[in-house]
């Protein structure tokens, strides 16, 4: 697979390995494959006989077989994606694809673990070591930390804003130990991000430490997010109805994963881009005008994004033609009030407990359903409801149970180094290791 930058199709093409470690091309575009291999018709026709890992292997192999040999790729898939994808049937034509049964209890585990294991594969081959730096406001940090945990040749440093992540999230970030270290910054998330950015621009530090990022726009995180769409298709294929996926979106990496599956040949009717009131993409879909703006806080806070980083990638799938985009991707928005009432309604009607992000998708899925009665609608469930216990308890007026990984983490002791929001302090911490 050769990749180019969305800013310039003529740009020199790079290998997957190079795109994986670089993250971003120098022109600040985003990496995308120059051409898409299509999986055979018989693969899609017989897909229901395959397991999730087998499906993932075939898709990954179509894209990466010239760089990672098949046996090694199989090893990566089976160790990175060793947790279940669960498709819950809510009603005859409404399903929830639960993507939160991995170690950090959010769908970001798919991307973070696959990226970590492919990086580790190349590092072993080249006998190199790297230092991953990541700033987090919550979910990303714990998926990345879990993804790289105990992988040889890699050290992970996580920066998070002191007092600004939930207690459970903080414990998820600070109790792993091993090759994962947490820095608690006396500042905001933006301060954490600025420190990481400055470290990457610091030549001296880079030469010394071989720094790498685990940014959400990394192509290594995007590819595995196509696998579970095909898994969902496989389990619903026998119904023989057109399928629509509702994707609760912030930076639109998840939705781009769906577009990858489609480009590999997966039959799909539509994608619904579901957002909270940070709705720049639904606005673009209905007007053709893209206008970023500062984000506003909502209950589905992992989707509070005012300038989605994957937006240029999403439109590039359609040669940046607005009309072509809108044939495949529809927009839908749900506000906090609708989010709360949907959490309540889904539990009342189907006994299903949704996190606020999943609830946005379920609200949009229900609306879509009312107008498209012969379609199988699959809403993507992106986080375990217990990660947002306060909101969910309030919507259901009850005290929901914590799953085992969150119970386990509560008995552990936080280990983090508190530093001032100061680059020198951060650099001293990094270099004294």
Ligand X SMILES: *Cc1c(COP(=O)(O)O)cnc(C)c1O
Binding site for ligand X (CB under 6 A): 106, 108, 139, 248-254, 302-303, 357, 382-383
- Residue found by looking up tokens 């009131």 in the block: 277
Distance of CA 253 to the CA centre of its chain: 6
CB-nearer residue toward ligand X: 209 or 302: 302
Q: Which is nearer to ligand X, 199 or 303 (CB)?
A: 303
* 299-330 as b/e: b if 16+ CB within 10 A: bbbbbbbeebbbbbbbbbbbeeeeeebeeebb
- Closer residue to ligand X (CB): 290 or 429: 290
150 Rama class: left (phi>0) / alpha (psi -120 to 50) / beta? left
The span from the CA of 365 to the CA of 335, in Å, is 14
Instruction: Give min distance, CB of 303 to ligand X, in A.
Output: 5
Residue number with CB closer to ligand X (23 or 248): 248
Greatest C-alpha distance within the chain: 62
Cβ proximity to ligand X: between 47 and 380 the closer is: 380
Shortest Cβ distance from residue 205 to ligand X (Å)? 29
Nearer Cβ to ligand X, position 73 or 303? 303
- What is d(CA 339, CA 359) in angstroms, rounded to the nearest whole number? 6
Q: How far is the CB of 36 from ligand X (least distance, A)?
A: 20
CB 229 within 8 A of CB 39: no
- Tell me how far apart the alpha carbons of residues 137 and 159 are, in angstroms, rounded to a whole number: 9
Question: Which whole-number Å values give the CA distances from 79 to 104, 120, 332, 353, in the listed order?
Answer: 16, 12, 36, 29
| Minimum CB distance to ligand X, residue 193 (Å) | 15
Q: How far is the CB of 298 from ligand X (least distance, A)?
A: 12
Rg (CA), the chain: 21
Query: In the complex with ligand X, which residue's Cβ is closer, 179 or 342?
Result: 342
- Measured from the CB of residue 127, what is the shortest distance to ligand X in angstroms? 33
Q: Is the dihedral of CA 245, 386, 159, 163 positive or negative?
A: positive
Residue 105 or 377: the one with the smaller Cβ distance to ligand X is 105
Q: How far apart are CA 91 and CA 149, in angstroms?
A: 38
- Nearest-approach distance from CB 329 to ligand X, in angstroms: 13
CA distance to 270, 275, 375, per residue, from 372 (Å): 11, 20, 6
The distance of closest approach from Cβ of residue 406 to ligand X in the complex, given in angstroms and rounded to an integer, is 15
Calpha distance 124→128 (Å, rounded)? 7
Nearer to ligand X, 187 or 253 (CB): 253
Shortest separation between residue 346's beta carbon and ligand X, angstroms: 16
Question: From the CB of 202, what's the least distance to ligand X, in Å?
Answer: 28
Determine the 3-state secondary structure of 421 from DSSP.
coil
What is the nearest approach in angstroms of ligand X to the Cβ of residue 285?
A: 15
Mention every residue, 6+ apart, whose C-beta is less than 8 A from residue 273: 247, 249, 252, 255, 281, 282, 285, 329, 330, 331, 332
Query: Which is nearer to ligand X, 139 or 191 (by Cβ)?
Result: 139
- Please say which residue, 205 or 359, places its beta carbon nearer to ligand X: 359
How far CA 340 is from CA of 207, 346, 381, 394, in Å, comes to 49, 10, 16, 8
């Amino acid at each position: 697979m050769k990749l180019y930058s969305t800013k310039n199709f003529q740009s020199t093409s790079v290998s997957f390995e190079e795109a994986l470690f670089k993250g971003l091309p120098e022109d600040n575009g985003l990496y995308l494959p120059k051409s898409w291999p299509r999986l055979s018709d018989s693969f899609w026709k017989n897909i229901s006989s395959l397991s999730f890992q087998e499906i993932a292997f075939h898709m990954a192999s179509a894209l990466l077989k010239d760089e990672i040999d098949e046996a090694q790729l199989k090893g990566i898939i089976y160790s990175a994606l060793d947790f279940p994808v669960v498709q819950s049937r809510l009603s005859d034509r409404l399903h929830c694809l639960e993507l939160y049964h991995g170690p950090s209890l959010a769908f970001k585990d798919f991307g973070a673990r696959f990226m970590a294991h492919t990086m580790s594969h190349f590092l072993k081959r080249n006998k190199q070591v790297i230092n991953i730096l990541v700033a987090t406001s919550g979910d990303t940090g714990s998926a990345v930390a879990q993804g790289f945990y105990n992988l040889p040749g890699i050290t992970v440093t996580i920066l998070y804003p002191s007092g600004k992540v939930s207690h459970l999230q903080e414990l998820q970030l600070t109790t792993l130990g091993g090759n994962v270290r947490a820095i608690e910054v006396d500042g905001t998330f933006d301060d954490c991000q600025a420190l990481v950015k400055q470290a990457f621009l610091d030549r001296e530090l880079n030469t010394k430490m071989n720094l790498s990022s685990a940014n959400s726009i990394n192509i290594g995180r995007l590819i595995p997010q196509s696998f579970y769409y095909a898994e969902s298709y496989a389990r619903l294929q026998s119904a023989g109805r057109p399928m629509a996926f509702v994707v609760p979106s912030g930076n639109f990496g998840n939705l781009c994963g769906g577009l990858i599956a489609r480009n590999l040949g997966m039959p799909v009717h539509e994608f619904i881009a579901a957002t909270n009131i940070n709705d720049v993409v639904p606005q673009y879909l209905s007007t053709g005008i893209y206008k970023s703006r500062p984000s506003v806080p909502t209950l589905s806070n992992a989707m509070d994004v005012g300038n989605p980083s994957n937006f240029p990638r999403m439109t590039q799938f359609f040669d940046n033609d607005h009309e072509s985009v809108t044939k495949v991707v529809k927009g839908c928005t749900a506000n906090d009030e609708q989010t709360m009432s949907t959490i309540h309604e889904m539990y009342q009607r189907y006994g299903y407990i949704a996190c606020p992000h999943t609830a946005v998708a379920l609200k949009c899925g229900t609306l879509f359903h009312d107008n498209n009665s012969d379609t199988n609608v699959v809403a993507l469930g992106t986080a375990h409801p217990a990660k947002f216990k306060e909101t969910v308890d309030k919507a259901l007026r009850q005290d929901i149970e914590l799953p085992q990984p969150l119970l386990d983490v509560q008995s552990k002791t936080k280990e983090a180094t508190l530093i001032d929001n100061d680059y020198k302090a951060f650099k001293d911490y990094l270099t004294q290791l």
